[in-house]
Structure 1
Amino acid sequence: MDRAADFDSILVVATRQIGDVLLTTPLVRAARRRWPGARIDVLGFAGTLGMLAGNPDISHTIELPARLGWKGGLAAARRLWRRYDLALVTDGGDRAHALGWIAGRRRSGIVPPGESSSSWKQRLLHHCVMAAGDRGTVHTVAEKHALLAPWLPPASPVPAVTVPEPEDLPADLAAALKSGAVVVHAPSMWAYKQWPIAHYAETVRSLLDQGHQVVLTGSGSPRDQACIAPLLALGQPPALLDTSGRLGFRQLVTLLHRAALYVGPDTSVSHLAAAAGIPVVAVFGPSNPMRWAPWPAQAGQPVTWRRAAGRQTVGNVTVLQSELPCVPCGRAGCEDHRDSRADCLPHIHPERVLAEARRLLQPA
């Protein structure tokens, strides 16, 4: 493959969840550095591209409905047909690869190994990156960056994650927010990633008792609100602020820039906090940190996570895990489905999180 190839138009296909979209930004930054004059667009599903707001490396974003149907699929095909010199397919799914083939005259993509669809996907690609899988050793950020391997010098450093452009907070929250606040994100989208709410409550209570302002984040969804509701009785404003359902991603960046510490689970907001540069304490259960730990803000240097370490820190990110021998299993909890329990998470006691908070909040 021609390492010196010049591409005038590039499409990044990012058809997964919000956090996965955010983790494509190092790939986008690397492409922008390699081809500074190119048009670089990102295609994703409606409601998932907010993490890209104001990203200076992106020319345009293209939103498609999550359920295209035949008519929608044909309309998308007509809209995208061979519009791009290069398509970078960051998702191993069938639809992502079909869209990449439709849109790009040349294609580089991630392919899941061992699946019945893997062979036809490889045949569509000019460069193939075999996915490491949730039990693998290659971080998803580095895996996406490898899509550019044919056109970059060997061992090119992986850029940092790019956060959305900051936006002002609502006036009442901006006025109430104190220097040194601790942001706590309690909700997880899936049950098998959910640290017990009772553990969050003990953590929040202790932080408040120590005189720290605590700011709760989350969406306005019923699940998020159910997770946050028990924490609201632990304090009153301004000591305890509830921002759930009020902030977009750009406002979250502003909040994180003004805070002193973030505590949260394996979720998109934890990735955002890490990229914003705030000290992060991330509570991990079944997920493999080698694949999914928040990417630290100090990228450009080697980022190496261990599979299981109890406690490990890379840059501004500390990951805490249970020391049960099955951790991390790389599955969707003990029963391997989204609503499964994860016995490892209750074993991470609040005292461990609070110890990290004390260490990170003490004056330099």
Structure 2
Amino acid sequence: MILVLRALGVGDLATGVPALRAVRAAYPDEELALVAPRWLSPLVELIGGVDRLVEAEGLGHLRWPGPPPELAVNLHGRGPQSHRMLAGVGARRLLAFANDEAGHADGPPWRADEHEVDRWCRMLAWYGIPADRGDLALDRPAPGGLPAGVSVVHPGAKASQRRWPPARFAAVARTLAGRGHRVVITGNPGERRVAEEVARRAGLADDAVLAGETGLGELAALVAHARLVVSGDTGIGHLATAYGTPSVLLFGPVPPAQWGPPPGRPCHEALWAGPRRPGNGTDVHPALAELDVPAVLAAVDRVTRGPARRALPVQTAPPIESRVSVR
């Protein structure tokens, strides 16, 4: 049994795909269990290679029935909490960054400024496990009843500093609609109000608002078959990268060199005016506030007029319970 910890969000799991697949390839005959929130199970299904999802929210005590796993892999953080969480299951060996506080001397040093994809590939390489940093693609589900060929505008983000003003998202959406794009506004249930505001300001019909109406698997399908994605620095941008869907992503507190699309992919563009002083920590970050509507529309022109994206195979996956056990 190989136990891998990545108990975070959509973008975190998406950027961990190359490392997760490298672990799978290094131990092809072992059962692989991923410790992650249950709500991420549709995304786990699209990654492939995971045999069991062990439900966990955050870094609390992990209940682990049965014998200890042979190996635990910390793809979550630098420790000490994540190291101790995995140590609690009694794994015979831990692959992780070195952390004196957790009593783990084996492993490479942590680097705060490297790209999130490269971080975990480097950690595994230190242990002799090669990983392909470009292996970010997800299985492409069939669209089902969702619209295909739409331009997705996603105004929400977890932190207020990463939320571009709704009026500017609306201006982008209005211009796209005027150019003949079918625009939809996405978000989670808590972002429904801001999505409705963006749609109203953009002059879109009520049915353009999909915020709160798509689960994670449906959102992935929507992005996989979309014409364009415009969003802040949040999970949907990583889905666009995974599917080669043209995207314009707006960054503020964190530079795209750490969390943006990999270089060499002209259909994705990350905009950033930073670095800038962080401001008061509650309003939109100054680096993000400096990005204006013309800059975003110019980026849209660049990513949509570039080479056509590589076609990915359409695969309709069975329900998560039929392929990956969840407990």
Structure with more relative contact order (C-alpha pairs < 8 Å, separation 6 or more): 2
2 CA distance for matches of 1:100 and 1:184? Answer: 38
Q: Which of 256, 272, 279 is the equivalent residue of 1:334?
A: 279
TM superposition shift of 1:39? 1.5
Contact in 2 for aligned 1:87/1:105 (Cα 8 Å): no
* Alignment partner of 1:146 out of 115, 122, 129: 122
Q: Which runs of 5+ in 2 are unaligned?
A: 308-327
Specify the alignment match of 1:84 in structure 2. Answer: 70
TM-score, normalised relative to structure 1: 0.75
| Conserved 8 A contact 1:182-1:212 | yes
2:64 pairs with 1:119: no
Q: 1:272-351 alignment to 2 at 5 Å?
A: 272-295=239-262, 303=263, 314-322=265-273, 327-328=274-275, 333-335=278-280, 337=281, 339-351=282-294
Number of aligned positions between the proteins = 305
C-alpha distance in structure 2 between counterparts of 1:263 and 1:157, whole Å: 27
- Aligned pair partner of 1:245 in 212, 227, 232: 212
Residues 1-364 of structure 1 aligned to structure 2 (within 5 Å) = 9-66=1-58, 68=60, 73=61, 76-79=62-65, 82-103=68-89, 104-110=91-97, 118-121=99-102, 123-124=103-104, 126=106, 128-133=107-112, 136=113, 138-152=114-128, 157-163=132-138, 166=141, 168-169=143-144, 171=145, 174=146, 177=147, 179=149, 181-221=150-190, 224-233=191-200, 234-237=202-205, 241-295=208-262, 303=263, 314-322=265-273, 327-328=274-275, 333-335=278-280, 337=281, 339-362=282-305
Residues of 2 paired with 1:163 and 1:87: CA distance? Answer: 21
Give, in whole Å, the separation in 2 of the partners of 1:341 and 1:55. Answer: 33
Distance 2:306 2:71 in 1: 52
Per-residue Cα deviation, 1:92-133 (whole angstroms, up to 9, x for no partner): 24331112223321111135xxxxxx4122x3353x233322
Look up the equivalent residue of 2:296 and give its one-letter code. Answer: V
Q: Does the 8 Å CA contact 1:90/1:144 hold for their aligned counterparts?
A: no
- 2:97 partner SS: strand
**Which letter maps to 2:108?**
V
- Look up the SS of the partner of 2:285 in the other structure: coil
- Counterpart CA distance in 2 for 1:54 and 1:361 is 26
Preserved contact between residue 288 and residue 328 of structure 1 (Cα < 8 Å): yes
The structure that is strand-richer by fraction is 1
How far residue 11 of structure 1 moved from its aligned partner, in angstroms, is: 1.2
RMSD across aligned positions (CA):
2.7
Moved more, 15-24 or 284-293: 15-24
Task: Tell me how far apart the structure 1 counterparts of residues 38 and 82 of structure 2 sit (CA, whole Å).
Answer: 14
Secondary structure in structure 2 of the residue aligned to 1:53: helix
Aligned residue for 1:344, secondary structure, equals: helix
- Between the aligned partners of 2:266 and 2:32, the Cα distance in structure 1 is 29
Between 1:247-256 and 1:210-219, the stretch displaced more is 247-256
Note closer, same or farther for the CA distance 1:178–1:166 as it changes in structure 2 (3 Å cut).
closer
State whether residues 148 and 222 of structure 2, in contact with CA within 8 Å, keep that contact through their aligned partners in structure 1. no
CA contact (8 A) 1:101 1:124 kept: no
Equivalent-residue separation in structure 1 for 2:162 and 2:196 (angstroms): 18
% same residue:
22
Alignment CA distance shift 1:110-1:81 (3 Å): farther
Q: 2: CA distance between counterparts of 1:208 and 1:119?
A: 55
Give the C-alpha shift of residue 283 in structure 1.
0.7
